[in-house]
Amino acid sequence: MGKLNTRLHRILPPSGEGRTADRRNAMASSTPASADLETAAADEDQLNRAFAALSDPLRRKLVARLAQGDATVNELAEPFTVTLQAVSKHLKVLEDAGLITRSRDAQRRPCHLEPSAFGPLALWIEAYRDRTEEKYRRLDALLAAEEGNQP
């Protein structure tokens, strides 16, 4: 299980129950656990923003294009039938999620993919994949035991 996910699951309850009250209580405290909780809440918010940004098919296509190299808004908008303004808004969502950055190169403002921002997403997905695989292994073992007990 990844470091981020381990921290989230050690601190936050597995379901949504009690999270708000736990956060309030932990933030009021000055113990190291309150710092962990604040960090976990910030990590969780970052994950939510990143997954929300990637929920749109056009934004996923923009990310795929930026994986090939930096590009300007005009270059990114070329293959699509949407306006430059729409592409700019989509890029702003990706930028707010920390998935891309924009720089200034004289008159150009190229967009750049931030590969490090995808690490926490991959860790989160990997943790749930590992859990799911473990559940299937236990189910397989249970079914094998049941088959062995039948006459």
Structural domains in the chain, sorted by start: 1-53+117-151 (no CATH), 56-113 (1.10.10.10)
Average pLDDT, the chain: 79
Query: Which residues have CB under 8 Å from 65's CB, separation 6+?
Result: 71, 76
Query: Which residues have CB under 8 Å from 90's CB, separation 6+?
Result: 56, 58, 59, 62
How confident is the prediction along the chain (151 residues), in pLDDT tens digits per residue? Answer: 444 444 444 433 344 444 444 444 444 444 455 566 566 666 888 899 999 999 999 999 999 999 999 999 999 999 999 999 999 999 999 999 999 999 887 788 899 999 999 999 999 899 889 999 999 999 999 998 888 777 6
Tell me, what's the pLDDT at 35?
Answer: 63
Tell me, what's the pLDDT at 34?
Answer: 57
